[in-house]
Structure 1
Amino acid sequence: MIHDTVTQGSRTQAQRTAATRAKLLDAAVDTLVELGYSGTSTHGIAKRAGVSRGAQLHHFPTKEALVVAAVEHLVDKRLVEILEAEPDPELGIETLMDAFSGPLFDAALELWVAARTDPALHAAMIPLERKVSDALRVGMLEIMGGRLSPEAIDLSIELARGLAVSALMRTPESDREFRERLLPAWKALVMQ
């Protein structure tokens, strides 16, 4: 009986590993959002996560590997949230627009801009961007069914991304007005 209590109270190596990785990934996203890519360091992420530098290096040997894994982790979580919410097909475009907001978008944007001039980051981002695009397509197909063609889905993803970037230069009120004005035209363009 004592053995069972000890076993139940202690975590397995796999659980400890997963917990350490989760702390590092969450800290990396928070750091990217707060400080930007140039202000992000693996030492700072390890400190924020409350793990040793050695543990950080064991899981993620480079800054690029850590920040890309962090955004990938967030993409996976966000897609699950969107699909579990069972969104209304009538609001599919709005759901897509929401995917380009919040910490995920902010962290990804930091990486996109930095990857333009950082060859190692650029190379690390290519598979992530493929995964993000695939996840968005799958999500839109799940939400919209046959209401959008594959081309309309791809166009909508690009429009949503572009609107999210341009929204950085608008006030929340002007962005809301801008979206309200453009949303009907967008839907008329892509809906079958």
Structure 2
Amino acid sequence: MTQNTERGPRTQAQRSAVTRQKLLDAAIALLVEVGYGRTSTQEITRRAGISRGAQLHQFPTKESLVVAAVEHLMEKRLTEILGAQPDPDLGIETLVDAFSGPLFYAALELWVAARTDPGLREAMIPLERKVGDALRLGSAEVMGERMSVAAIDLSIELARGLAVSALFRTPESDSELRERLLPVWKEMVMK
């Protein structure tokens, strides 16, 4: 039995939480590195150092594992953003920044794969609702009364689109485009 020298033996719930975390971290890393199509549960378990049986106990399907990984990362990222208490004057920039990094790339992999994979699409629908709700809530918390609900929804869609199109721009041209678009965007949506 694994010992925690400070508190004695770990409980089954603690061991399960550690196993789950290792699987989620490995799934995100693989989604970002090799994409959904080349991410397999066998490779996730190998990378996590977890047995196949332990993986199946936690997540019976690849879909359930990768969706849970993206959901976990989304919750962590939202907590980080809101914990930083972003400046409401930079609310649009904060939203745009939310569509970057490992969370965005992992989610993008799942969005594209879900287009042709009915099982993944079904698994993604509740997550997408949760992500949308979290983005709306987080944006409303940052922006306060400065943006209407419709303006927040429009801004979320614009931020997502800007992030997708950025995949085909250099960092310099992306920065230049943002500098030109963000003032116009703010003028359109802020009260």
Same structural fold, with TM-score higher than 0.5 when normalized by the shorter chain = yes
Kindly provide the amino acid, as one letter, of the partner of residue 115 in structure 1. Answer: A
- CA 1:105–1:6 in 2, change beyond 3 Å: closer, same or farther? closer
Structure 1 stretches of 4+ moved >3 Å: none
RMSD, aligned CA: 1.1
* Offset at residue 8 of structure 1 (A): 1.6
Map Cα deviations across residues 69-94 of structure 1 (whole Å, 9 max, x no partner).
00000000001001100000000000
Matched with 1:141 is 140
Partner of 1:46: 45
1:68 to 2:67 alignment: yes
Change (3 A) 1:86 1:51: same
2:107 maps to 1:108: yes
Q: Which amino acid aligns with 1:46?
A: T
Matched residue of 1:129: which SS? Answer: helix
2:98 match: 99
Aligned-pair identity (%):
74
Partner of 1:83: 82
- What is the distance in 1 between the residues matched to 2:138 and 2:150? 15
| Counterparts of 1:6 and 1:153, CA distance in 2 | 48
CA distance in 2, matches of 1:125, 1:105: 14
Which whole-Å deviations, capped at 9, do the CAs of 1:17-65 have from their partners, x for residues lacking one? 1110000000000000001000000010000001001100110010000
TM, length-normalised to structure 2: 0.97
- Structure 2: runs of 5+ lacking an equivalent: none
How many pairs were matched up? 188
TM-score (norm 1): 0.96
Where do 5+ consecutive residues of structure 1 fail to align? none
Aligned to 2:168: 169
What is the rounded CA distance, in whole Å, between the counterparts of 1:55 and 1:29 in structure 2?
18
Q: Counterpart of 2:122 in structure 1: which amino acid?
A: A
Alpha-carbon distance between aligned partners in 1 of 2:152 and 2:27, rounded to the nearest angstrom: 30
For residues 130-155 of structure 1, the C-alpha deviation after alignment (integer angstroms, 9 at most, x for no partner) is 00000000100110111100000000
Distance in 1 separating the partners of 2:145 and 2:9 = 49
> In the aligned structure 1, how far is the partner of 2:95 from the partner of 2:164?
14
C-alpha deviation, 1:9, in angstroms: 2.6
